[in-house]
Structures are given as C-alpha cells and as structure tokens.
Structure 1
Amino acid sequence: MSNDIWRWSAVELARRIRLRDVSCEEAVASCLARLDQVNPRINAVVEVFAAQAMQAAALADATLARGGAVGPLHGVPVTVKVNVDQEGCATTNGVGAYRDVQARADSPVVANLRQAGAIVIGRTNTPAFSMRWFTDNDLHGRTVNPWDPRRTPGGSSGGAAAAVAAGIGPLAHGNDQGGSIRYPAYACGVPGLRPSLGRVPAFNPSQAKERTLGMQISSVQGPLARHVADLRLGLAAMAAPDPRDPWWVPAPLAGPVGFPVRVAVCAEPPGYAVSPEVAFAVRQAASWLEQAGCIIDEVAPPRLREAADLWLSLTLNEARAGVCEAVEQHGDEPMRKAFASMNSHAPQLGVTEYMAALAQRSTLLREWQAFFACYPLLLMPISLQPAFHVDADQQGDDAMRRILDAQSPLLATAILGLPGLSVPTGLVEGVPMGVQLVAGRFQEALCLAAGEAIEARASCGVPVDPRPVAE
C-alpha cells in the first residue's frame, strides 16, 4: 500500500476504508508518519496519541471485518483543539495553570466525531485562552505557518489549520468566536467553516461556570480541511444532536441549495483600508462564481462597522467581568499585552449600555436577514489584509486598532451568529489568499456549494511541506 495515504481527502479516505481498499490502521499509520516528519518544524499538534490511535484503528478494522455498522468518518484520522474537553486529556486552552486538569468526559463535538468513527490522533495548539489571532503560548510554544514562518498561522485554531495544511490528518476540529476558524484557514491556505450558531452542539463539562451571553451567541465549533467537500462531511458528523447544548437547533443539513444564486460582492468595505491583494482575490472569486452561473452585484452588507464594534464591545466587557482576572493571573505576557491593547479600544459599558448593545444585535441581524432575502450569498474578504506578521499584536494600541479594523468581516459575522466559509484562492508571493462566503442562518450548504465552485478554479497547493524562513 502506498505510504502517501496522508495526502488523501477525508471523503476519499472514508470511501476507500468502507470498500476495504485500505485499512484504518494503514490510514492512521500514514498520518502519524507525516506528523512525525513535519510537526517538529511547525508545532501544530502538541499532544500525540500514536499508540491509542493505532489501537482504535485496529478496533475499527475489526468492526469492518465482522460487517458491523460504520459511521461516515469510520477510520478517518482527525485532530482536536486543546480548548475543548476530551476525556482523559487536559483542556489546557494554552494555559500552563490548566495543564493537569483532566476532562472526565468528551465535549459534544468530540463525542460526535468519535460516534462518526473518526480516530483522534492528536490535539492542536491555540494561544493562551484562545484569545489571539496568533498561536503561541508559554505552555506549548509557537505554532509555525507552514507557508512562511514569518507570518502567523492564525488563531485561535492556528494549530488545526497548520496541521491540515501540512498533511497531518485530512480533517481538523476548530472553533470560532471572532474568526478563530476562518482566519487560520485563510493564513494557512485551507478551507474552514464557521457554522451557524446552534448548528454544532458545544459544551465543556469541565467548565466551572457558564460562559457569558455574548460569548455564547458568537462562539461555534466547526471543521477545517484541505477540501470543501471534507468540510461538508465533517460538519455532518459534528452536528449530531447533544442535549447538553441549549442553543443546538435540529435544522436540516441537506435539502435544495438553489445554487447558483444572486451574490453580493463587497471587495472593499466602505470606510476601511483594504489591501489590493485582498480586493483582487474577492473580485477574482466573483468572476469565478459568475462563470458558475451566479448573478453578481457589487453591494456592501448593512452596517458592517457597527456589527464589528458590537462584537468588540460585548466581548471585551464580558471578558473584563469574566476572564480578565484569569488572564492577569495565568496568561502569558503576550496574551496580557494583546488583551490590554484590545481593551483600550472597547468602551466601558454599564448595565444599561450592555442591555442596549445586546438589543442592537437584533436590529443588525434583522437588517442582515433582509439583505440575504435579496442576495442569498455574500462574497467578501476574510481579513482586509494578508496574514499578519508574527506578533503584530505586540506592537501597541495603534497596531491593535489596525488589526481590529482588518478583522471586521470576521467579527461582524461572528456576533450575528452567521455561517462563514473561508476558501483559498491561491498564493500571492508565497502567501495564501482567500475569500469569505457568508449566508443566512443555517445556510451552510449554500456556502459550501459556492466554495466548491471557487475551489474548482483556484490553485492552492496543499498539502505543503513546511518552508524555512529563507524561502
């Protein structure tokens, strides 16, 4: 059997395993060998389960041999982020103080992946408290972008994105509260899907108390992969019901998509500085969607900056009341510095102002829903700038303001609970570029269909061998 199974897509691997063209043990062994080869250079996976994964693969092969029922990801190697509970593992969230606190049960997304037959081969890195777009922490170290070590792999799912980009498993788990799936996918040149709020159940049994409301309504779990079709497969597995999440909605995944559709294209959001490379990527993707039969209109979504500012106000005011003390006590110095810079741009809200901010979310979401009634799909940047250089958030408050502005397309859609798909469009001077597809609530299928139309015309070059700084 070929030793390049690690190159296969999740869809192909699952199909070939069901046909018994390849064994689960061969699939897992190939991905583990690739991990051994490249992970020392990128530090994407910070906890490896080689023996456990091979044992699980042997059991999965035995199930096939006796004709037992198998799930859609049977035998497919996956990675899980260190900020969700996985039974027997520490949910470190990139924080040294949590290194010995082991989870006693799986979170819903991990349980669903296992139920679908996936085999977890390792846990991926995240910044401390998962609160930076740069994946580095004092506990696990820095994750390196396999395309260019001088650029961030994104955050907070930087380990997940770097892993799939470098060929460590075809599918990775991530989560997204302010772009933490879509931005790492963009930085590492792979597709990543932020599902709608309520699509994938979420809960950490180990958490000491419930998250605050703004964080609950902006945070979701979702997949990263090297192919859009793999995101569809991963989403179906992750979205199985779990009674522990009161936000979960039994919305159908399948059904008539209606693609091609009318697409609103916003290459340069009004009032923002947009990199020419970013604007070109959006317009290029628009031409590809037009070739696929879509009707293209250049129009901006309603009140983008207000929605992005709302994310900042709610998130930071809740963080001040919640995780601020933990960040000061247990956060590493880069986390504390970035957190302070973000705080400098978020106004202090009293109870009345906080209630008004939450109310404003309904107003904005209503306007976006009316927008999607006219334009079922929105094509826009992921970030308004190419992937940031490493530690750009350590350069002071002004630098943080520029970062927050650049991330506005991520923040606005997150606070509104909308689905967003990050799709690569190619490389510009060796740096991955990409675009974001946004649709109405529970319209992931439409995003994925459009993403496949873009993917079919783009050249992205993953998996990639990690590149040294000199290149």
Structure 2
Amino acid sequence: MSEPIDHFSSARAMRDAVRAKEVSARELLELHLDRIEQTNPRVNAIVSADPERARAAAAQADEQLARGEDVGPLHGLPFAVKDTHEVGGWLSTSGSPVRADHVPERDELLVERVRAAGAITVGKTNTPEFASGSHTFNPLFGTTYNPYDLSRSAGGSSGGSAAALASGMVPLADGSDMGGSLRNPASFCNVVGMRPSFQRVPQWPNPNHWEAISVQGPLARSVDDLALLLSVMAGPTERVPISQQAPGEVFDVIDPIDLGDLRIAMSIDLGGAFEVDADVAAIVRAQGEALEQAGARVAETAPDLREAEDTFRTLRAWHFQASYGQLLAEHPGKFKESLADNIRAGEALTGADIARGYRQRSTLAERMRLFFQEYDALVLPVSQVPPFPADQEYPADINGQVQETYLDWMRSAFLITVTGCPAMSVPAGFTAQGWPVGLQIVTSANSERRLLSIAHAYERLTNVGARRPTL
C-alpha cells in the first residue's frame, strides 16, 4: 500500500493509486471537489464547474478499470481546462463578454488528448479576456487571487490554472503562452510551467498554423508531473502538418543530469534590457550561487536580443488584429481598453512591418543557436516583479521606472518568446513578505528533454516548490 493520497500528492502518485485500486476515481474526484468547495470562493481559480458531469465521468473511469480495460496515463485525474481552450459541450468564454454564452460542439486537440488519456474534467480555469495580460481578471468571473497572499495577483494569463494547482484543487493543469502566460503565473504561484518550442504541442483548430509566438503547454506542481502532462499534450498530428514529429511519450521519463557538467549563463536583466525588482534580483542571484556550489560553471552573461522587443510587439499586434479585429468592430464596447488598443495597433501594420518581424526572428534564432553552443542553459528572472496587488491591472513602476502599458513589465518573459527556445519557470524562492519568485530556465530550440533534465536537477537541489500556501 502506497502512502495515503491527499490533494497535494503528486499527479503520478494519484494516477498510480487509481490504477492499483487503492483509491477510486470517484474518491479522488470527491477529494478535489471538497478542496474546490473550501478554497475556490477565496481564490476564484476555477469557473464553470460542473461536479455532476465530473462524477459521471469518474464513475465511468472506475467501470473501465473494473472491466480490465487499458487506460491512459492520466486515468482518473481531476483536471480543469483553461477557459480559452474549448471543451465540447462546456461553457468556454475566453473570459470575454463577447463569448459569455459560447458552448463549442467539440474539444480542441489539446483537450481531446488530455481527456483521451483519462483525465476527468471538473471545470474551466479563469483567464483574462482572450488571454491578454499577465494578471487574471475579467468582467464575467472577476479576479483570481494568489493562494500565498489573497491580496496579490496570481499572474496570467494562465493564472486560474496556476492558482488551482497551488491550492490543491487539481493535480495538473494546462495553459498557453505568448508573452509569458505559462511562465509568469507559475512564478507567482510557486508551481512549474513550461513554454514549449513552436508546434511541440500542436494547436487545432487554428486559423493560422504558421503563427509562431503563441504556444500551449503544461503546468504542474513538480517537474516530474509536468513531464507526464507534456507526454500527453505533445506529439504529431495530421491535422497540423507542421507539428513536431517526436512522439509525446519521449517526455514521460526525465533523463538524469549532473549539474556539475553544465555551463550556465546567468543574467538578471539581459544586459540592461529591463528593470528588475530588488527582491527578485537577489533571489535569482542566490540561485546562480546555488548552481555554482553544486558544481555548475556559471557565467554572468546574456545573448544579444536587441531586436526582440520590436519583434514581439509587432507580431503580437498582428496576431491580435487578425484574431479579434472583426470581433472588436462588431462589439466595440465589450473589450477592455488595453486589449482594444493592442488590436487596433495591428491595423496600422504593413507588409514590410510583418516581414521585418519575421526577419528579426530568424536573426534571433541564429544568434541563440550560436549562444547555446557555448552554454547549456540560460537562467534569468521569469517575472521582473513579485506578485503585485490584485487590484492593479499591472505594476505601476519597477524601481521607480514607470511601466506605461500592461506589456512593459513582462520583458523578462516576452523577449525569450521570440527566440523560439523552450523555457520553464521553476520555484526559486520567496520574498520576505512570503511572495513566490520563479527562476526561468531556457535551453536551445527543440530541446525540451534537456530542459526537463536541468529543471528537475535544479528542483531537487532547492526543493522550494514543496512549500504550500496556508489557505
């Protein structure tokens, strides 16, 4: 008999206990539904919950095991889907009044894979409108709060997912990342989030398979559990002709790595590219020292990303205008002002602007390829600030430097976005006030297996992620 399961047990332990019939899928679901009832009214991470539909699915999962059927790698695990991801027959609003009554007929691919692997959908996770911004609030469901301090932001746009994980409401969660939307909430909520390489997790349906700055990916409370979820999400599909061809199963087992064999580049601000809060900077520096004491060769240096900001802002505005321009024209009063401004910024772009953005992306990719010939990983802050007050849309300033838009304080994440490299947020420490801070680990393009190995070794070195909120 393995150790008793509670709501903070690992996803793998829960999965194994269900398979061994030490706990039923129904019992595991009730454990999490009780936790949701206790904590969600304060955290507001899960929306559109449907306990009865979840109970029916859990009963079916138990019947499958009783019949001796082969079951998937997530069999019986409760799961909440980011509200920007469509679940067939389930309210899927994207946090927008424009889609307040939207119920899709079918699952999108990521959801299809997670459900086929045996996960039990309990509800959706809260998100800002159309996943725009790294603070989770919207006019339909309100604000998601940080489980470590209910006056603070849980980050975004996958803030509901990260807060639900940190609170023990679900053992795994999904998300998406354009400018840091998997990494930032993981940092704010002391969990693990990975932005995979382009098309590692294929997206379908998608009006533009070649759009290259937004990706989907996994969140978990540990690197090992994140690898489990990535193994389900990743892998090729004929529906996405440019999806990466490695099967998802290759990510399920993490290869061991010796930190003493690694060459680590560490940077607080990518050579002066952005301001960083003093507490965040101190924690990141301490992690560089910890890696060095573990034997890694750590050099304070950074790649040249001078074109990255213009590249990101240009391609993001183009993506937003293409995705939501028509909706904004039809519903001009139903978008938050900052999102509407981003959409309108895309209207002024020319073909030359878009060409410049993609040309610069190619330059950045080549520069990173050469950089990672010298270093095994780059480490830097995930977020430039610790969790900020939840009643603010974004931080007003960093070290006295005014942040004029809701994108300005996210440079530590979005400058990495346009390199095309996979990146992960791993718990790194806490400020004196008890606010979580994550370390961003970046490796070369398409090297998720190596990233998992390094992140897992770092996680075992520090064990910061074991600290739970006292809700």
TM-score (norm 2): 0.89
8 Å contact 2:209–2:240 — kept in the other structure? no
Q: Distance in 1 between matches of 2:343 and 2:396?
A: 12
Question: Would you say 1:425 and 2:428 are equivalent positions?
Answer: yes
Question: Would you say 1:376 and 2:376 are equivalent positions?
Answer: yes
Question: What amino acid sits opposite 1:444 in the alignment?
Answer: E
Match of 1:85 in 2: 86
Q: Which deviations, in whole Å up to 9, do the C-alpha atoms of 1:360-401 show, x marking residues without a partner?
A: 111111101111121121111111222233354478899543
Q: Distance in 2 between matches of 1:328 and 1:42?
A: 34
Q: 1:286 to 1:399 in 2, by over 3 A?
A: same
Match of 1:190 in 2: 191
Within 5 Å, give how 1:207-286 maps onto structure 2. Answer: 210-211=207-208, 216-251=211-246, 253-254=250-251, 259-260=258-259, 261-271=262-272, 272-286=274-288
For the aligned residue pairs, the C-alpha RMSD in angstroms reads 2.7
Alignment equivalent of 1:459, drawn from 448, 458, 464: 464
Q: 1:139 to 1:176 in 2, by over 3 A?
A: same
Q: Distance in 1 between matches of 2:172 and 2:213?
A: 23
8 Å contact 2:269–2:412 — kept in the other structure? no
**1:180 CA displacement:** 0.6
8 Å contact 2:255–2:453 — kept in the other structure? no
Q: Distance in 1 between matches of 2:389 and 2:445?
A: 33
Q: Distance in 1 between matches of 2:203 and 2:344?
A: 30
Match of 2:450 in 1: 446
Q: Which deviations, in whole Å up to 9, do the C-alpha atoms of 1:91-140 show, x marking residues without a partner?
A: 21011221222211111111111121111111101111111211111112
8 Å contact 2:388–2:395 — kept in the other structure? no
Q: Distance in 2 between matches of 1:195 and 1:263?
A: 20
8 Å contact 1:393–1:400 — kept in the other structure? no
Question: What amino acid sits opposite 1:430 in the alignment?
Answer: G
Question: Would you say 1:407 and 2:410 are equivalent positions?
Answer: yes
8 Å contact 1:425–1:454 — kept in the other structure? no
Within 5 Å, give how 1:15-414 maps onto structure 2. Answer: 15-204=16-205, 210-211=207-208, 216-251=211-246, 253-254=250-251, 259-260=258-259, 261-271=262-272, 272-303=274-305, 305-327=306-328, 330=331, 336-339=336-339, 348-393=348-393, 399-401=402-404, 404-414=407-417
Q: 1:180 to 1:132 in 2, by over 3 A?
A: same
Q: Distance in 1 between matches of 2:142 and 2:330?
A: 19
Q: Distance in 2 between matches of 1:401 and 1:376?
A: 35
Q: Distance in 1 between matches of 2:145 and 2:112?
A: 29
* 146-155 vs 423-432, which moves further: 146-155
Question: What amino acid sits opposite 1:281 in the alignment?
Answer: I
Q: Which deviations, in whole Å up to 9, do the C-alpha atoms of 1:334-385 show, x marking residues without a partner?
A: x532236668999953212221221111111110111112112111111122
Q: Distance in 1 between matches of 2:66 and 2:102?
A: 38
Match of 1:469 in 2: none
Question: Structure 1 vs Structure 2: percent identity of aligned residues?
Answer: 37
Which consecutive residues of structure 1, in runs of 5 or more, have no partner in the other structure?
Answer: 467-471
8 Å contact 1:154–1:184 — kept in the other structure? yes
Q: Secondary structure at the match of 1:178?
A: coil
8 Å contact 1:266–1:380 — kept in the other structure? yes
Q: Distance in 2 between matches of 1:311 and 1:43?
A: 31
Q: 1:280 to 1:441 in 2, by over 3 A?
A: same
Q: Distance in 2 between matches of 1:222 and 1:6?
A: 22
Question: What amino acid sits opposite 1:373 in the alignment?
Answer: Q
Q: 1:425 to 1:394 in 2, by over 3 A?
A: closer
Question: What amino acid sits opposite 1:388 in the alignment?
Answer: F
Q: Secondary structure at the match of 1:354?
A: helix
* 383-392 vs 220-229, which moves further: 383-392
8 Å contact 1:183–1:383 — kept in the other structure? yes
Question: What amino acid sits opposite 1:369 in the alignment?
Answer: R
Q: Distance in 2 between matches of 1:31 and 1:250?
A: 35
Higher relative contact order (CA 8 A, sep 6+): 1
8 Å contact 1:143–1:159 — kept in the other structure? yes
Q: Distance in 1 between matches of 2:343 and 2:63?
A: 54
8 Å contact 2:235–2:246 — kept in the other structure? no
**1:3 CA displacement:** 8.7
Which consecutive residues of structure 2, in runs of 5 or more, have no partner in the other structure?
Answer: none
Q: 1:396 to 1:291 in 2, by over 3 A?
A: closer
